[in-house]
Structure 1
Amino acid sequence: MRKPFNPLQGAILKALTEGLFHGADMVISSDQVVANVQRQFAMIEGKKPGEIGLILYVLWLLLGGPLFLLLGPEWRARRIEKRLQRTQNDMMQDLARIRSIIYAGYYGHWEGVSEDDNRANPVLAQIGYTLPAHRERGSGEVPVTAFPGRDLTYSDILEPDQIPQSAGVIVIGSGAGGAVAAATLAGHGHDVLIIEAGPHYPSSRITHEERRMTAHLFVDGGIQTSRDHDIVVFQGRCIGGSTVINNGICLRVKQNGLTHPHADDVFADWAALGAPVDEARFVRSYEAVEARLGVEPAHPQSGRHNGPHLLRGWADHAAGTGDEKDAQSPATWFNKNYGPRSIGADCAYCGYCNTGCPYGRKQGMAQSYLLDARKNGAIIMADAEVRQIIWKHDDPQTAKGVEVRLRDGTRRFIEAGKGVVVAAGALASSRILERSGVANTGTEISLNIACPVVALMPEGAPLRAWDEDQMTTYVDRGDFLLESHFQPPMSMSTLMPGWFGDHARRMSNYNRLASAGVLVPADRRGRLKKGSLSFKLRDDVELPLLRRALSALSKVHFAAGAEEVYPAVARGLALKPGDDIDAFFNRVIREADDVTLSSSHPHGGNGRNADPEKGVVDLDCRVHGTRNVLVTDASVFSSCIRVNAQLTTMAMAHYATARDPFAVSA
C-alpha cells in the first residue's frame, strides 16, 4: 500500500494521537491509528493528502518541533491544550481541525474486508456499536437486506475504448441536476452522453467501511473546505453524484403545512432579483420528480428514537417560549426518496446514508433517472472530467463539444451535435464555465450552513440512535431549520466536540447519545477564487442567526431530558441544565473559526436572471450569449433556498428540459 505520509509525518501523527488520547483508554495502538490514517489517505485522489502533510509539518513546528516527538504523551497533551484547544488565533484554530483526522483514524478502525471480519472489532466493542449485518431485527421490522434489481450495472458504463467521438447532447454530471436533465432529454429523442468525473459504485460495491466510502465517493475524500478552512463542503463525486451520499431528503422551497408560514418566499425572492419562475409549472416539476422517486414521509420506525427526540423536545420548548413563530413552526417527518414502501423497498435504517446505501433501497439517480436515460438510449462515461467547453471557430456562441480528461491523464475531444448541458454541481459547474470563457461565473454562491449539537441522555434503556435512519425529522423555524441526525462511529467522532478524555468519554456513551443539527441560510456570500470557495459569514447577519439557532437546539435537547449538551464549539465545552445558554453562545462564538461548520448544499454561482449583466444563465437556464449551452443544477439558483437542495435541483432540471430546449436546432 502506498503511504501518503513520510516517516516524519507518520511520527507527527503518532505523537498527536498519543497526546489527544492521553488519559483515555485506547484499545488499538497509536501505531495502528497512524496505519489507519495512512490507509485512508492513500485512497484519496488529488491534492488533499499533500496539503495535510504540509499541515503536519507546520503543527510539528508550532507544537515544539523535536521536543514534541521526544517528550511524553502528558507533555504533548499539555502542549496541544495550550496551543490548539484554548487558542483564539485563527491559524491555530484551523490547524486544530487536524484532531478530526486522528479521531477518524481511531474510530474508523476496520479489520479485513467484510462486516463479519469486524465481529470482534475492539473499537466498535468499546463504544457498544453493532454493525448492520449483526443487528437483530424483530417481527415487523425492515430486514437489513438488499433490494435488488434497480441499479446501473457495469455494462451500463462505457469502457475507455467505447468512448464516442460525438453525441447529440452532452450532459456534464450525473447527479440530481444532470441525471434528471439527461433522462428528460433522452425522452425527447436526443442522443445523450452523460459524463461523470467520479467512479461507478453500484449498491453491491458499497460497504460500511466508512473510511473507504468517504475516500472514494466524496470530493477530496470528504474534507473539501472553503479557502479559509472555516466550512467543510460535502459533495459527491461518483455516478449519481451527491444523491449517492445524501439522506434522501425531499423538501420543496414552500409547501403548505411543511414550510413555516413566515419563511421567506423563495419564488418571490427570485422574481424580485429578476429571475422569476412560472410557479405553477415549477410545482408540476416538483410533482413529476416526486412521483418518479416515490417520495413519501420517513416511516416513524426508521427513526424511532432520535427522530421523536427532536419533535418532543421542540414541542416542550415551543410551548414555553410564548413566541408565535415557535408555535407556528412545522415539526414533522422528512419526505424522502427511499422506498417506496409499496414495493417492499423500505429504508433498512442502517444509519449509513452518507456513505452510500449498499442495499439499493434509496432511489438515488443511479436507481432512477439514470436508468430512465439508459432505457431511452443515453450512454454514460465514468472517471472522465470535463475540463472545458470548446466553441465553434466560426460561431463562438455555439458549443462545438467538450474537452475531457480521462483517468489516465489523456485528453479527448467529444463533439456535441445539438448542445451541452452543464450539471456538475455548484462549484464544479462554475469552474468548467470559467475555463470555457464564460464571464461572471462562480459568484453569489449560497450555502445552507449546518452545525451539530449532541446530547447525553440519562442512563437506562439504551437509546441506540445509531440503529436508525440518519435523518428523519425536522423543525422549520422560518429563519432556520433543526434537523435530527446521527452518524456512524467514524463520522460521529469527527463531529463530536471535546478533547482528550472528554472526547473519549462522550464517545464511550455512544448508546446514550441523541443528536441534531441546525441549518442556517447564508445568502450569496461566496465566490470562487482561483477555483476555491471563498465564503465569509457576516457578523451582523449569519453569526447572530447561528448563535440563536444553536441556542434553540440546545434548549430543545434539555427539554427532551438531556443531562449534558455538546455544541460543536472549538474548545469542546459542555452545557448543563440551568446554564445561561444564550449567554454561552454569545460568549464562545465570535467568528466562524469558533465552531464546526459544514454544508452539503452549495448553490448559486451561475444564477438565473433575465438581465445578462446580473446572471450567467437566462430564465430558460441557457447561458447568456450562447445558443446551445444550458446549466441545470443548483448553481442556477438566484438566492439561498434555505432548505435541503436535492428536490429543488431535480425540479429545476426538469423545469429547464421538460420543454425540449434543443427542439429548434433538432
Structure 2
Amino acid sequence: MGRPFNAIQETMLLAITEAFFADRVMAIPPEQVVDNIQHQFGLIEGSARDTIGLSLYALGAALGGPLFLLKSPRERMEVIEERLAKSQIDLLQDLARTRGVIYAGYYGHWEGCTEEDNLHNPVLNQIGFVLPKYRVRNPATDVEIKPQYERELTHKDFVGHGAVPASVGVIVVGSGAGGAVAAATLAKKWGHDVLVIEAGAHYPSTRITHEERRMTAKLFVNGALQTSRDNDFIIFQGRCVGGSTVINNGIALRMKEPGLTHPQARDVFLDWESIGAPVDEAAFNAAYESIEERLEIGEIEHRSGRNNGPHLLNGWKLHAAATGDPRDQTAITRWFKKNYGPASAGAHCAYCGYCNTGCPYGRKHGMAQSYLLDARKAGARILAEATVRRILWRDSEDGDGRKVATGVEVELEDGSTCRIAATTGVVVAAGTMASSRLLDDSGIENTGRDISLNIACPVVGLMPPGHQVNAWDEDQMATYVDRGDFLIESHFQPPMSMSTLMPGWGPEHHRRMLNYNRLASAGVLFPADRCGRLEGGKLAFKLSPHVELPLLRRALAALIDVHFRNGAIEVYPALARGDTLYPGMDVDAFLKDRIREADDVTLSSSHPHGGNCMNADPKKGVVDLDCRVHGTANVLVTDASVLPSCIRVNAQLTTMAMARYATARADPFA
C-alpha cells in the first residue's frame, strides 16, 4: 500500500499537526500522526484522497505558503485560528474542516492488528480509554463482552466472480435495509431465481475489529468522508454487505406510534397523502409489525446506557420544568427500541460503544444476520463487490409505451463488465443517492429530486472534576427526547470518531479530549424537508435561514440547557469556531450571533431519503404508489429514496417497512 500524499502535502500535514499540539504533551510524535494519516487514506476507496490532497495545497496558500512553515508551532496555530477558525469566508471554512484529518491521525493511532497489540497504546492511555477486551465487567450485573457468531453469512452464501449467472428471475440491487427485506420477501416467492448484487465487500462479525480507522475506511461510502456538494454536510452511508445496518446504532422508531411520538408532531402519513403519495396506513403498520417481529425489536436494556443515557433524560426533565412550555412537558422521553440481540438468541448487546464501525461480536441483528440469511434460506444468491452501472431495457410488447427491464450491466471488482438478464424484474435498493444515480444513468428522468435529511448536530458537556461518566463503556445511543419539531438523542463515540466531532482548535481541543472520561454527549436531530437534489451526482442541499436555521438554534439551545441543568461546567456545541459555553450565558443570543449559515456549525446525516419519491403523478415523483418506476413495467424501488417527505425520525425501520410494503403483494411486478 503506497503513501497517498506526496512530499509537499506531507510537509503541510506535519506543520499543521505540530501547530495543533503546540505546547501540549503528545503521546506520539507528529511524524507518527502523519504516518497514521497516510495509512488511513491508503485504505480508503473513492475520491477522498484526491479531495484532501487538493485541500492541503489550498491550505498552504491560505496560511501563507513557505512563510507559514518557517514559523514556530505556536505561531502557526495563531495563524490557523485567525485565518481558519474565525473566518466567515466559505472557502476557508471548508478548508478548516480538514482539522478532523489531523485529529483522526492522532486519536485513531493503532498499533499492530489486535486489541492485545494495543494494551499499551499511548494515545488511548493518555485519554483514559480502555479497549473492550480489558474492561472490568461485573458478571452478576453486566453483559460479558464476547462473540456470538451463530448468525453469519459464510463464503458459501456468495456467488464467485467466476460463476456469475447469465440470467435470473429477479435482480435486487443493494443489500441494506431496503434491499435485504425485499430480497427475503421475493425469495419466498421465487426462491433461487433472486440475485442480490452488492457493491461493497462482505465484512462478517469475525472480520470487524476495533481499529476505527480501518473499519471507517472499509465500511463507509468514501471512508465516511462523503460530503454535500458545498461541503456543508457529511453524509454517512454504509458500503458493504448489509449496507448501513452494519454501521448504524440499530434504532427502530416508527414515523407515528402512540406513546412514542410527540402528540403535536406532524402526521407523516397525512403529509404524504397531501402531496399525492397516500399509502395504506394499516398495511404499512402491518409491515412495521412484520419487521419488528422478525428482528425482535424491543427497548434496550437500561444497563447498556447507564450514565450518558440518563444524563439526557434527567437533564430534559429539569429543562422542561424550568421552561414551563407545554410542548417541552409533553415531550416523549424514552430509551430507544433497537434490533440488537435479541435476548432469545443469547446475544444481548455487549455495549462496547463501537456500533458505528460494526459489531465484532455478532450481536447486532443487522441485515447480514437476519433478512439476507432468510433470503439465502429461500434460495436467493448474493453477488458482492459488484457494481450495477445501468439497467438494460426493451420496449413493452403491449404497445403502452412502457419500458421493460431485461437485466443489468455489472462492473466486477477487477474492472471487467458483464450483463445479467432478469426475466421477471429488477429491484433498486442501493440507497438514496446511489439509487438515484443508477436510475439516472439508466435513462429514468427526474431522479435525485426532493431529497430530505434528518440532520444531526452534536453538543458535548464537561462534567465537574471527580464525575466520571465513562460514556465510552456504554451503548453509543441509549435514550431520546421527541419534542415534536426536533429530537435529541444521547450519543458517544470511540476516541477517533469523538475527536473528529469534538469542536475546538489546537491545544484547547486536546484539553477537551484529555477530559474524555468526564464528557457527556448528545445531539439534536432536526428535519430538513425536501431541501436537496443531486447535481452531477453530488448532493446539493441548502438550509433555509427562515425555517431550518432557527429550528437548529432552538434545538441546540435546549440541549445546551439540558447539559447545564444536569451539572455540566462547560458545554461545547459543534460550532466552527469551537467556542466554550459556561453556565449563566445568554445562549439564545450567542447562537443567533454564531449560527448564520450551515458553514458555521458541524452538521451530518445518516438518514438521507427521497430522490425517487413516490407519487401518483409521474410529473411529481419517480415511482408510483406501488413503488414501481413510472413508465416501466417491472422495476421497483424499495429503499429510503422513495419516501415522499422527511420522516423526522431515524430512517432504518421505515425503510425496511417500505420494502416489505412494496413487495408483500402476490406479484409486486404485475
Give the TM interval when normalised to the shorter protein.
over 0.9
Shift of 1:399: 0.2
How far apart are the structure 1 equivalents of 2:248 and 2:642?
20
TM-score by length of 2: 0.98
Look up the equivalent residue of 1:313 and give its one-letter code.
G
Instruction: Tell me how far apart the structure 2 counterparts of residues 28 and 660 of structure 1 sit (CA, whole Å).
Output: 61
- C-alpha distance in 2, partners of 1:230/1:108? 24
Instruction: Supply the distance in 2 between the matched residues of 1:439 and 1:162 (Cα, whole angstroms).
Output: 34
Q: Per-residue displacement from partner, 1:67-118 (whole Å, max 9, x unpaired)? A: 2223321221111111111111111000000000000000000000000000
For 2:444, give the aligned amino acid: V
> What is the one-letter code of the residue matched to 2:157?
D
Q: Which residue of 2 aligns with 1:90?
A: 90
CA shift for structure 1 position 394: 6.5
Paired residues for 1:151-190 under 5 Å: 151-190=152-191
Structure 2 residue corresponding to 1:219, chosen from 214, 218, 221: 221
Read off the aligned partner of 2:590 and give its amino acid letter: F
Q: Deviations over 1:26-69 (max 9, x none)?
A: 11011100000000000001221011101100101111111222
Residue in structure 1 matched with residue 372 of structure 2 by the alignment: 370
Distance 2:66 2:505 in 1: 23
2:309 to 307, 310, 317: 307
* 1:434 aligns to 2:435 (yes or no): no
Query: How far apart, CA to CA, are the structure 1 residues paired with 2:57 and 2:104?
Result: 20
Give, in whole Å, the separation in 2 of the partners of 1:424 and 1:99.
31
**Any stretches of 5+ residues in structure 2 without a counterpart?**
none
Q: What is the CA distance between 1:411 and its match in structure 2?
A: 1.0
The correspondence of residues 337-486 of structure 1 with structure 2, limited to 5 A, is 337-392=339-394, 397-486=403-492
CA distance in 1, matches of 2:157, 2:80: 51
Whether the aligned pair in 1 keeps the contact of 2:396 and 2:404 (CA below 8 Å) is: no
Q: Deviations over 1:583-631 (max 9, x none)?
A: 1111100100000000000000000011111110000000001000000
Judge conservation of contact 1:204–1:359 (CA < 8 Å) in 2. Answer: yes
Answer whether contact 1:418 1:662 (CA < 8 A) is retained.
no
Paired residue secondary structure (1:162): coil
Q: What's the offset of the Cα at 1:24? A: 1.8
Equivalence for 1:31: 31
2:269 to 227, 251, 267: 267
| 2:113 matches 1:113 | yes
Q: RMSD in angstroms over aligned alpha carbons?
A: 0.9
Shift of 1:660: 3.2
Secondary structure of 2:349 counterpart: coil
Does residue 287 in structure 1 map to residue 293 in structure 2? no
Decide which moves more: 576-585 or 16-25: 16-25
Distance 1:629 1:568 in 2: 42
One-letter amino acid of the counterpart of residue 70, structure 2: L
Would you say the 8 A contact 1:185–1:660 is kept in 2? no
Rounded Cα–Cα distance in structure 1 between residues aligned with 2:23 and 2:326: 48
Q: Normalising by structure 1, what TM-score?
A: 0.99
Whole-Å separation in 2 of the counterparts to 1:200 and 1:68 = 45
Work out the CA distance in 2 between the residues paired with 1:575 and 1:492: 19
Contact residue 103 and residue 490 of structure 1 kept, 8 A: yes
Q: Residue 330 of structure 1 is aligned with which of 332, 348, 355?
A: 332
Counterpart code for 2:565? A
Amino acid at match of 1:86: K
Contact 1:253 1:643 (C-alpha < 8 Å) held by counterparts: yes
For residues 544 and 516 of structure 2, the distance between their equivalents in structure 1, rounded to whole angstroms, comes to: 35
Report the Cα offset of residue 23 of structure 1.
2.3
Moved more, 461-470 or 105-114: 461-470
CA distance in 2, matches of 1:504, 1:473: 28
Alignment partner of 1:644 is 2:650:
yes
Amino acid at match of 1:620: D
> Corresponding residue for 1:598?
604
Shift of 1:244: 0.2
Q: How does 1:49-68 map to 2 (within 5 A)?
A: 49-68=49-68
CA distance in 2, matches of 1:317, 1:155: 54
Q: In 1, Cα distance between the equivalents of 2:439 and 2:669?
A: 23
CA distance in 2: counterparts of 1:374 and 1:367, whole angstroms: 11
In the alignment, the residues of structure 2 paired with residue 352 and residue 628 of structure 1 have an alpha-carbon distance, to the nearest angstrom, of 40
Using the alignment, how far apart are the partners of 2:48 and 2:657 within structure 1? 33
**Counterpart contact for 1:23–1:500, Cα < 8 Å:** no
1:625-644 to 2 correspondences below 5 Å: 625-644=631-650
Determine whether 1:577 maps to 2:583: yes
Which of 607, 613, 625 pairs up with 1:607? 613
Distance 1:312 1:588 in 2: 28
CA distance in 2, matches of 1:45, 1:161: 23
Runs (4+) of structure 1 exceeding 3 A deviation are 393-396, 660-664
For 2:529, the aligned partner's letter is: D
Give the 3-state SS of the residue equivalent to 2:472 in structure 1.
coil
C-alpha distance in 1, partners of 2:669/2:316?
A: 51
How far did 1:393 drift?
Answer: 5.5
Post-superposition Cα deviations, 1:333-363, rounded to whole Å, max 9, x if no partner, equal 0000001113321100000000000111011
Alpha-carbon distance, 1:145 to partner: 0.5
Q: Distance in 2 between matches of 1:115 and 1:498?
A: 29
Structure 1 window deviating more from structure 2 (455-464 vs 585-594): it is 455-464
Percent identity over the alignment is 66
* Structure 1 unmatched ranges of 5 or more: none
Paired with 2:145 and 2:156, the residues of 1 have a C-alpha distance of: 27
Structure-1 separation of matches of 2:412 and 2:590: 51
SS of equivalent residue, structure 1 residue 189: helix
CA shift at 1:159, angstroms?
1.4
Partner of 1:543: 549
Q: CA deviation at 1:310?
A: 0.2
Q: CA deviation at 1:661?
A: 3.4
The answer to whether residue 521 in structure 2 is matched with residue 520 in structure 1 is: no
SS at match of 1:452: strand
SS at match of 1:61: helix
Cα shift readout 1:489-526 (whole Å, capped 9, x = no counterpart)? 00000000011111011000000000000001000000
1:408, distance to aligned residue in structure 2 (A): 1.0
Contact in 2 for aligned 1:483/1:516 (Cα 8 Å): yes
Counterpart CA distance in 1 for 2:167 and 2:136 is 52
Instruction: Quote the Cα distance in structure 1 between the aligned partners of 2:47 and 2:576.
Output: 26
CA offset digits 1:130-186 (Å, max 9, x no partner): 000111110221011011210111221221112111110000000000000000000
Which one-letter code corresponds to 2:105 in the other structure?
G
User: CA shift at 1:20, angstroms?
Assistant: 1.2
Q: Distance in 2 between matches of 1:263 and 1:186?
A: 37
Paired residues in the alignment total 664
Query: Retained in 2: the 8 A contact 1:481–1:519?
Result: yes
Aligned to 2:81: 81
SS at match of 2:190: coil
